[in-house]
Amino acid sequence: MSAAVLALDQGTSATKALVVLADGSIAAEIEVPVALRAVGTGGVETEAEDLWTSVVSAGSAAVAQADAELSAVALANQGETVLAWRYPTGEPLSPAIGWQDRRAASITDALASERQAARALSGLELDPYFSAPKMAWLRPQVPDDAVITTTDTWLIHRLSGSYVTDAATASRTLLLDLDKGEWSEELCALFGVDMSALPRIVGNTDLVGRTRAFGSELPVVGTAVDQQAALFAEACFEPGQAKCTYGTGAFLLTNLGISSPRSKAGLATCVAWRIGDATTYCLDGQVYTAGSAVSWLVSAGILASAADVDGLVKGARQASSPRTPYRPEIFVPALSGLAAPYWAPQARGGWVGLGLDTDRAALVQAVIEGIAANVTHLARVGMHDVGFPIARLRADGGLVRSAALMQAQADLLQVPVDVYSTPHATALGVAALARIGLGHAATPRDAVSAWTPSVTYEPGCSAGEAEHRMARWLQAADAVAQGLGAAETCG
């Protein structure tokens, strides 16, 4: 028997529960799917009770599967997803409005003149991706006595009765004064949010309550946004170290250290983690549709299953001529709008360069390369904020199983890509934060288990070829961001 942490990763499409032992090994893992639904134009929702049921079901099954003595429960959350609920009963009063939901674009459009002020205070762009616009959009639709919070606050309240959120999650709301680490009166007033109704902000290793949801009473400690938890697990502890998670979306986070400069390139600056009195910051770039773009290919009948991606891409490349090894089709993954550095919520995905010889394989290859190109663009523009380029990229998430995507990423970025040793970076990250909170580890390096990449992808094309491919993709992305006919811009 070994003291262990039940690490819950409540994600967009599933909740994962891991029992993580003191040495970082995994004694049990359970995944329970969560159903998303598209609503109207740009709406993405989940039934709130489905989130709660998935957490309890996955956690209980993992505890039953593991032969381990539990010392704590840790929780990672989706970040910007919000819901309305009744305090203190915990009764949900709305669906969970997902981070991909674009219906609050009307809110951000109306506040466009406040864009610079909002960025200066929060480090974030005025965009419906973040929580506060969703809160403002949802408020007229729910009872006056409802509280509207990010999902972590509701789940923690259901688990323990506490009413809190962690510093990293708070920094994703557009309501936090990033430099002070406190809720901002100005930003709350901007979005019509009652600051007194917001949860208390805690550190990422703080004890936030105790729960009996999984058997005997356990402390709840180690809470964070999923992306920051993955950054922590992958030991990106030095400024300039970066990871990208390829899940429903793709999220590139780069450690900024103890400084919180506002991005000159349009990326987001936010809290990576707060441990005690020390806050570490990160630079964040987002691709809203990565895994969800692959799922869309399946739903559209272009792919039979996500597992077919690499086979089709290989076929497309084999069909190309030696003189032009990459086909002319280009895809911009803007199926839920474009995030940094464009911040174009109304943008829609686009293919260009299609011909009569374009087949399914060519379309799939274009989607894979479009995701990699978008991440590469984020890394390039972020370089000017960090001060130097990323030397190598650490990668995690479900899509890292695609060798085609990882190779395309290494090719376009022109640096090695190290794939994380397990698909569970987020859960392992909050488990490591919990170890610090419990006093079982003194520093982040003590808390995070040493790891070696499961595979490293080296660039397989020249810098000149990568530059050519990126230039063509950027033309298409600029056209999509502006709402123009991309084919006219990038033949």
Across 126-267, the runs of DSSP E, i.e. the strands, are 147-150, 164-166, 176-177, 182-183, 200-202, 207-211, 218-225, 242-246, 250-257
Write down the pLDDT at residue 384.
85
Tokens of 94: 């709305």
Encode pLDDT of 20-33 as tens digits.
999 999 999 999 99
The pLDDT of residue 344 is above 60: yes
Pairing of strands 182-183, 176-177: antiparallel
Nearest Cα residue to 132 out of 142, 122, 117: 122
Encode pLDDT of 80-89 as tens digits.
999 999 999 9
Write down the pLDDT at residue 488.
38
What are the sequence ranges of the domains in the chain?
3-234, 286-419+461-489
Pairing of strands 43-46, 37-39: antiparallel
Average pLDDT of the segment spanning 296-304? 93
- The answer to whether 19 touches 5, Cβ cutoff 8 Å, is yes
- The answer to whether 114 touches 108, Cβ cutoff 8 Å, is no
Q: What angle do CA 83, 89, 90 make, to 5 degrees?
A: 25
> Which pTM value belongs to this model?
0.93
Encode pLDDT of 359-394 as tens digits.
999 999 999 999 999 999 999 999 888 888 899 999
The pLDDT of residue 431 is above 80: yes
- The answer to whether 77 touches 153, Cβ cutoff 8 Å, is no
Q: Which CATH number applies to 286-419+461-489: 3.40.1160.10, 3.30.70.20, 3.40.50.12780, 3.30.420.40? A: 3.30.420.40
The pLDDT of residue 135 is above 80: yes
- The answer to whether 412 touches 470, Cβ cutoff 8 Å, is yes
What is the C-alpha to C-alpha distance for residues 202 and 359, in angstroms, rounded to an integer? 52
Nearest Cα residue to 371 out of 298, 300, 477, 282: 477
- According to CATH, the superfamily of the domain at 3-234 is ATPase, nucleotide binding domain (3.30.420.40)
The pLDDT of residue 61 is above 80: yes
Write down the pLDDT at residue 255.
97
pLDDT: which is higher, 202 or 326: 202
Write down the pLDDT at residue 490.
40
Write down the pLDDT at residue 317.
65
Write down the pLDDT at residue 298.
94
What is the C-alpha to C-alpha distance for residues 235 and 446, in angstroms, rounded to an integer? 10
Write down the pLDDT at residue 489.
38
What is the C-alpha to C-alpha distance for residues 385 and 240, in angstroms, rounded to an integer? 10
Average pLDDT of the segment spanning 294-312? 91
Neighbours of 272 (CB within 10 A): 28
Tokens of 35: 């159903």
The pLDDT of residue 324 is above 60: no
In the beta sheet, which residues pair with residue 76? 9, 224
**Percent of the chain residues topping a pLDDT of 90:** 87
Among the residues of 16-175, which ranges form H helices? 48-65, 105-110, 115-122, 131-138, 151-160, 167-170
Mean of pLDDT over the chain: 93
Encode pLDDT of 240-287 as tens digits.
999 999 998 999 999 999 999 999 989 999 999 999 999 999 999 999
User: Cα-atom radius of gyration of the chain, to the nearest Å?
Assistant: 22
The pLDDT of residue 91 is above 60: yes
Q: What is the DSSP string of 81-99?
A: -EEEEETTTTEE-S-EE-T
Beta-carbon contacts of 103 under 8 Å, excluding residues fewer than 6 positions away, are 40, 41, 42, 43, 97, 128, 134, 137
Average pLDDT of the segment spanning 411-423? 96
Average pLDDT of the segment spanning 410-418? 98
